[in-house]
Amino acid sequence: QVQLVESGGGSVQAGGSLRLSCEVSGYLFGARCMAWFRQDSTLVREGIATISRDIGATYVDSVKGRFTISVDNNKNTLYLQMNSLRPDDTATYFCAADRRWGCHYSDSLVRFEYWGQGTQVTVSS
């Protein structure tokens, strides 16, 4: 059974940093696309970053230059380094995985087969 488990969320002041982790367990057939989504108080789940070997990393404009997505295949872990955090980054962050190639942050959440449970990030001004 495939499981994705996020960690690393918390509360931070504006300008601070956090690193989110997403550990993948179970046989994922080599997930070809990994992604981070976030869901704020409006309950809209937005794709913010993806990573795949064929396309590399993609980012939504609002996080570009501040967030970095990466993956450690030896540890089966996906990361999201978040710097220069702002209050509007406050949300629940989810990792997701898909076995197909070619993902982009604008892809619909319905293409992703596997999801974590989410981790809360709160940024205060």
Residue 33: what pLDDT?
92
Quick: pLDDT tens for 20-45: 999 998 766 567 899 999 999 999 99
Contact yes or no for 84/66 (Cβ under 8 A) = yes
Contact yes or no for 83/67 (Cβ under 8 A) = yes
Quick: pLDDT tens for 68-83: 999 998 888 999 999 9
Residue 53: what pLDDT?
86
**Percent of the chain residues past pLDDT 90, beyond the cut:** 80
Distance CA 58, CA 21 (A): 18
Residue 28: what pLDDT?
64
Residue 29: what pLDDT?
55
The listed range with the strongest mean pLDDT (16-20, 40-44, 96-100) is 16-20
Cβ-count burial 1-11 (b if 16+ within 10 Å, e if not): eeebebebbee
Contact yes or no for 96/110 (Cβ under 8 A) = no
- Within its chain, how far is the Cα of 115 from the centroid? 10
